[in-house]
Amino acid sequence: MDVETPALLLDLDAFERNLDLMATFVQGRSIQLRPHAKTHRCPMISWQQIARGAIGICCQTVGEAEIMVKSGIKDVLVTNQIVSPGKARRFASLAKFAQVRCCLDHLDQLRILDEAAKVCGVQIEVLVEIDIGNGRSGVAPDDRAVELAAAVNQSGNLQFVGLQAYYGKAQSIRRYRERRAAVLDAVQEIRKTMDLLKKRNLNCQIVSGGGTGTFDIDAELGILTELQAGSYAFMDGDYLKNDADAHDLFPRFQPSLFVLASVLSYPISERAVVDVGVKNVSVDCGLPVVFGRSDVTYYGANDEHGRLNVESKANLAVGDRIWLIPGHCDPTINLYDTIIGFRNLRLEAIWPISARGASH
């Protein structure tokens, strides 16, 4: 690959295969795909997912949603709360261009969003986020969720349409059985909330959640209407640690995303240094894994340097290229301005990561 390093590379064959596998998987099942764009922040990738049948996308921030709507995408769910009046107005204004929804778990957010929708002259559909075991955001999956949903419908400019029920912790439970058991427990919480909503005649059309770690279980259990998986397109080192399902019935996604490094220094036979450190690859879910060769191991990350253990008979020289599988794709992609797509080791496409840094 004739590019300067560090570079963020995408194996287009593997990437397209991953997209196809997931698109085929959800066909004929009672779940639709709404892939999370927080993973890649790249409209060119969202468009390829939509072309394969995704009903829309998820975003995590208003900044991401703005860029995705500006790129022409017509259906965006912000899987998060909005608490600043200015941001709420920026979000509400997007409703003039696309179907945009967001999540609430508190009356204060409701008031801010309702006011913003009023100012912008739009109606906004919202999901109530419930905590199904994740221990982060979300109102309790009981009467409190129902009260919040009722309050949404009593507001002037918002409408309750469903539940946000993401279970991040379950995504990285390594063993399939335990992962499935965790999702089963969570589903009970969702079902309980749905029953309470029904009693109050609150119409829950959407239940959105799930991810790359649990997509097969989410689909099997049939309670989610929307699957928010994002990482399946790339498969980082962290997700690759998960066991597959027991019978291997479901698609196995392959790593498609790499960080290309160069050997800067090879001072002693056991150690080499590459130009990829924490500014070039995220280490919050483990160090990157060297791809395609077993004689070198990435063992330590500094800001702009990575240290490699080199085995005694390794064939390695200053200037050599090393392919790394990132431990965690989302924050790694956010370090780059472009994704370089290649096929058969030849450059084919450069896609801007248009929403890189769009956290605010």
Tell me the two tokens of residue 189. 């919480």
Tell the smallest beta-carbon distance from residue 334 to a second copy (Å).
5
Q: How far apart are CA 281 and CA 272, in angstroms?
A: 18
Tell the smallest beta-carbon distance from residue 20 to a second copy (Å).
26
Tell the smallest beta-carbon distance from residue 112 to a second copy (Å).
8
In terms of CB distance, is 24 or 359 closer to a second copy?
Answer: 359
In terms of CB distance, is 113 or 197 closer to a second copy?
Answer: 113
Cα torsion 172, 178, 180, 185: sign = negative
In terms of CB distance, is 65 or 221 closer to a second copy?
Answer: 65
Tell the smallest beta-carbon distance from residue 249 to a second copy (Å).
30
| DSSP codes joined into one string, 251-270 | ------EEEEEEEEEEEETT
* 3-state class (DSSP) for residue 160: strand
Residues within the interface to a second copy (CB under 8 A):
4-7, 38, 60-61, 80-81, 83-84, 86-87, 105-106, 108-109, 112, 129, 131, 135-140, 168, 262-268, 271, 273, 275, 278-280, 282-284, 301-305, 307, 317-319, 328, 330-331, 334-337, 357, 359-360
Choose among 129, 127, 132: nearest CA to 189.
Answer: 132
User: How far, in Å, are 87, 116, 243 from residue 51 at the CA level?
Assistant: 30, 32, 30
Q: How far apart are CA 128 and CA 131, in angstroms?
A: 10
Tell the smallest beta-carbon distance from residue 147 to a second copy (Å).
14
In terms of CB distance, is 23 or 82 closer to a second copy?
Answer: 82
First to last CA, the chain: 35
Tell the smallest beta-carbon distance from residue 201 to a second copy (Å).
25
Q: How far apart are CA 91 and CA 126, in angstroms?
A: 12
DSSP state of 243: P
DSSP state of 185: H
Tell the smallest beta-carbon distance from residue 270 to a second copy (Å).
10
In terms of CB distance, is 81 or 208 closer to a second copy?
Answer: 81
Residues in the chain, how many?
360
User: 78 burial class (0-12, 13-18, 19+ CB within 10 angstroms)?
Assistant: buried
In terms of CB distance, is 87 or 179 closer to a second copy?
Answer: 87
In terms of CB distance, is 200 or 279 closer to a second copy?
Answer: 279
Strand spans (E) along 166-224: 206-209
Is residue 207 a contact partner of residue 162, using CB atoms and an 8 Å limit?
yes
In terms of CB distance, is 136 or 200 closer to a second copy?
Answer: 136
Tell the smallest beta-carbon distance from residue 353 to a second copy (Å).
10
